[in-house]
């Protein structure tokens, strides 16, 4: 595939790195073979892992300012970038200026998240006549499913073209879409605090629709934090958004259809895909769920079957009932070890290892606001309780898409259309009395997802090795064995475990270790998993500069 030529350069630890207009710092560094971005307090190298602003392991220092996420920061000509150490000294001569000013918003409907669900909600609410603002964390809306290209003029694949159409519809509808917004606080009465472009952003909407999506569940094995190991979604973002391969030779592992899809996309992009390791047995061994999926959504089932055929045609080995057991460095590459259910073992050497073992909802805002949740044992995560119009237990607060529990992009879009109309109708814009067709479509999408995930094995219990030295908390570098020791001190609750071990106290706010720690405590105490099993959500839900917090407080004082 033809690629646009590099136009400019920045330096990374003194080395000159070329980049293409639109690439993120992480994409440009990956293309240049530089995978180690940050160094931990224990001297371990870390690289891009989630590719979507969640893990905080891609932090670099840019022009003297630390804590810049390489995956979320666009490369720019002449930048001086360096590996971030654990306790960086602030270079005050070059540091970014303090945050100044604040913008206040009070739309009829605030949509948080610019993916399939959020954009669909915005379009529906706008068309009903409500004023709508969409706040999105990324530079380009579209979310994890549509993953829009950041490169000007790059060809779009089918999914990206669908996303581009939806985005254009959202813009045409009159919704204001604000990109690059980091929401760090949510409070009763529907007050949201965020940082945007170096200024505070305060939103007091009449209604809000949360559509923050989900992030990927890793498989925690020895070496899963090495640079070059990343989520399958991160590898997909590199390729789709930046036309950057995560490595020339890659392996993909975990459970679920995304792994096969991304294996194919990378192979089509020119990568050698050494292996796709799937924990579940082949789909034909579960004929009933396969039949249910086919009945619920024949087109998507057919698409999935087609992916399997293409994988075979390309000669990419797909090993079912096979799980990752270990990753180790091998020169500049990675040695990945796998074990199959029949006892056989396999190893391969790759530049990049991609993993997806299911999903965790990004439900921090919903939990902060007190929306009622229940534990879903099949998916192993919390689901937000909602009524037929997707309103949560908090009046005026709606939740759509994967943030309320995994459901997939088609269901998210459907939910967005329902919630958008319902939120607008709540304020007197149009009516939401004829949602029957959308609700019937939603039931079909949900039936498909339920059947699909009975064919896969994204069991959250998999990979928990209570006595091992495998890291659980990437940020604070806490192992399973340390968690076990902490449990013996006081097994009562994950909150006490946090205080005993520091698990979940790092920059990612326990997004990866939190669900695992919660399950360990539940297992130890015999308690049922529920909302209270998890870390209590706290403000700030994302790292934010103190100056941004002060700017928000000043602005709020002025308003009050």
Could you tell me where the beta strands, DSSP code E, fall in 86-190?
102-105, 109-112, 132-135, 176-178, 181-187
CA distance 219 to 419: 34
Could you tell me where the beta strands, DSSP code E, fall in 289-365?
318-319, 322-330, 333-340, 345-350, 352-356, 359-361
∠ CA 494-500-502, rounded to 5°: 85
Q: In what order do the strands lie in the sheet with 102-105?
A: 102-105, 199-203, 191-196, 181-187
- C-beta of 50: minimal distance to ligand FES in Å? 4
If the CB atoms of residues 53 and 269 are measured against ligand FES, the closer one turns out to be: 53
Contact indicator for 17, 26 with CB cutoff of 8 Å: no
If the CB atoms of residues 48 and 201 are measured against ligand FES, the closer one turns out to be: 48
Query: What is the contact mask toward ligand FES in residues 37 to 66, using x (rule: CB under 6 A)?
Result: -----------xxxx-xxxxxx--------
Contact indicator for 180, 80 with CB cutoff of 8 Å: no
Cβ neighbours for 154, distance < 8 A, ≥ 6 positions apart: 4, 243
If the CB atoms of residues 24 and 533 are measured against ligand FES, the closer one turns out to be: 24
- C-beta of 540: minimal distance to ligand FES in Å? 15
Contact indicator for 56, 543 with CB cutoff of 8 Å: yes
Q: Distance of CA 535 to CAs 227, 259, 368, 406, 494, Å?
A: 27, 29, 11, 20, 6
Q: Does 138 bind ligand FES (CB under 6 A)?
A: no
Three-class DSSP category at 464: coil
- C-beta of 70: minimal distance to ligand FES in Å? 6
- C-beta of 67: minimal distance to ligand FES in Å? 11
If the CB atoms of residues 358 and 506 are measured against ligand FES, the closer one turns out to be: 506
If the CB atoms of residues 227 and 283 are measured against ligand FES, the closer one turns out to be: 227
- C-beta of 35: minimal distance to ligand FES in Å? 11
- C-beta of 465: minimal distance to ligand FES in Å? 23
Contact indicator for 59, 39 with CB cutoff of 8 Å: no
Total residues contacting ligand FES by CB under 6 A comes to: 12
Question: Closest Cα partner for 363 from 334, 397, 404, 395?
Answer: 404
- C-beta of 37: minimal distance to ligand FES in Å? 8
- C-beta of 499: minimal distance to ligand FES in Å? 26
CA distance 66 to 83: 9
**Angle formed by the axes of helices 480-489 and 494-501, to 10°?**
110
Instruction: Work out the burial of residue 143: count CB atoms within 10 Å of its CB; fewer than 13 is exposed, 13-18 middle, 19 or more buried.
Output: buried
Query: What is the contact mask toward ligand FES in residues 68 to 87, using x (rule: CB under 6 A)?
Result: -x-x----------------
If the CB atoms of residues 69 and 219 are measured against ligand FES, the closer one turns out to be: 69
Enclosing H/E stretch for 156: none
- C-beta of 339: minimal distance to ligand FES in Å? 27
If the CB atoms of residues 68 and 292 are measured against ligand FES, the closer one turns out to be: 68
If the CB atoms of residues 73 and 131 are measured against ligand FES, the closer one turns out to be: 73
If the CB atoms of residues 51 and 410 are measured against ligand FES, the closer one turns out to be: 51
Footprint of ligand FES on this chain (CB under 6 A)?
Answer: 48-51, 53-58, 69, 71
């Amino acid at each position: 595939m033809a690629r646009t030529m590099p136009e400019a350069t920045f330096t990374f630890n003194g080395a000159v790195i070329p980049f293409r207009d639109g690439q993120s710092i992480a994409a440009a560094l990956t293309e240049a073979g530089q995978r180690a971005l940050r160094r931990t307090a224990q001297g371990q190298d870390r690289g891009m892992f989630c590719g979507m602003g969640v893990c905080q392991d891609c932090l670099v220092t840019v022009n003297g300012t630390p804590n810049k996420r390489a995956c979320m920061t666009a490369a720019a000509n002449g930048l001086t970038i360096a590996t971030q150490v654990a306790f960086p000294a602030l270079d005050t001569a070059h540091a970014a200026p303090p945050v100044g000013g604040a913008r206040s918003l009070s739309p009829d409907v605030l949509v948080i998240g610019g993916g399939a669900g959020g954009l669909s909600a915005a379009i529906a609410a706008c068309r009903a006549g409500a004023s709508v603002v969409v706040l999105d964390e990324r530079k380009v809306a579209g979310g994890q499913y549509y993953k829009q290209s950041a490169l000007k003029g790059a060809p779009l694949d089918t999914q990206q073209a669908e996303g581009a159409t939806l985005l254009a519809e959202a813009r045409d509808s009159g919704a204001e879409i604000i990109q690059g917004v980091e929401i760090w606080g949510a409070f009763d009465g529907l007050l949201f605090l965020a940082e945007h472009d170096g200024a505070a952003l305060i939103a007091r909407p009449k209604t809000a629709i949360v559509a923050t999506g989900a992030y990927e569940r890793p498989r925690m094995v020895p070496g899963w934090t090495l640079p070059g190991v990343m989520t399958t979604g991160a590898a997909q973002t590199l390729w789709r958004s930046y036309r950057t391969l995560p490595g020339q030779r890659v392996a993909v592992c975990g459970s679920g259809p995304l792994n096969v899809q991304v294996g194919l996309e990378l192979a089509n992009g020119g990568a050698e895909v050494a292996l796709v390791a799937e924990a579940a047995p082949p789909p034909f061994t579960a004929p009933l769920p396969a039949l249910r999926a086919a009945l619920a959504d024949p087109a998507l089932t057919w698409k999935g079957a087609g992916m399997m055929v293409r994988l075979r045609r390309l000669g990419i080995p797909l090993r079912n009932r096979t799980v990752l057991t270990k990753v180790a460095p091998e020169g500049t590459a990675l040695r990945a070890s796998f074990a199959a259910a029949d006892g056989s073992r396999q190893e391969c050497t790759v530049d990049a290892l991609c993993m997806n073992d299911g999903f965790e909802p990004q439900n921090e805002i919903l939990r902060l606001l007190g929306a009622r949740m229940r534990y879903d044992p099949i998916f192993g995560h919390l689901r937000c309780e909602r009524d037929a119009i997707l309103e949560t237990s908090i009046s005026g607060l709606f939740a759509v898409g994967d943030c309320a529990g995994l459901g997939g992009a088609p269901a998210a879009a459907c939910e967005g259309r329902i919630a958008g109309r319902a939120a607008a109708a709540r304020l007197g814009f149009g009516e939401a009395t004829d949602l029957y067709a959308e609700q019937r479509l939603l039931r079909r999408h949900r039936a498909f997802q339920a059947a699909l995930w009975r064919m896969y094995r994204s069991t959250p219990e998999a990979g928990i090795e209570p006595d091992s030295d495998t890291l659980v908390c990437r940020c604070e570098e806490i192992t399973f064995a340390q968690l076990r020791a902490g449990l013996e001190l006081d097994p009562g609750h994950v909150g006490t475990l946090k205080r005993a071990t520091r698990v979940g106290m790092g920059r990612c706010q326990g997004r990866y270790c939190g669900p695992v720690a919660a399950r360990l405590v539940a297992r130890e105490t015999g308690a049922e998993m529920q909302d209270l099993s998890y870390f209590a959500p706290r403000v700030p839900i994302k790292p934010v500069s103190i100056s941004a917090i002060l700017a928000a407080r000043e602005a709020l004082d002025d308003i009050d």
